[in-house]
Amino acid sequence: MKKTLEIEWPILPGSISTAQSRCGKAHCVCKLRPPRLHGTYYRWTGIIGGKRTTKTISKEVAQECLRRIRNCRQLQRDIETLLRMALADAPWTSPSKSSRNKSKRP
């Protein structure tokens, strides 16, 4: 039986987060109570060259990254499904003809 995956391309591993922050100016509105923080800043976090990396990106780029991340996560789920199917059909899960025909030694 042949199994195939249909991949929605492009893909991107990682995640998107948002942040707001305070600046270093002493009399800025971000220092008020309640504070009016700067931002919203969008960030992509993922692994590049074996190291965790965070990139600050625009809202538009963040939306495209989210689309690609969804594609990547769907691919990961599809691979997990195929692996579960492969393990359910592994050679040790059912007796093979060759093991049934072997004689037992006393």
* Chain segment 75-93, per-residue pLDDT in tens: 999 999 999 999 998 999 8
Separation between Cα atoms, residue 25 and residue 17, nearest integer Å: 25
- Please state the rounded mean pLDDT for residues 16-20: 98
Separation between Cα atoms, residue 21 and residue 28, nearest integer Å: 12
Say which amino acid occupies 46. Answer: G
Q: Indicate the domain borders of the chain.
A: 15-89
pTM value? Answer: 0.78
Segment 24-58, tens digit of pLDDT: 999 999 999 999 999 999 999 999 999 999 999 99
Separation between Cα atoms, residue 14 and residue 45, nearest integer Å: 5
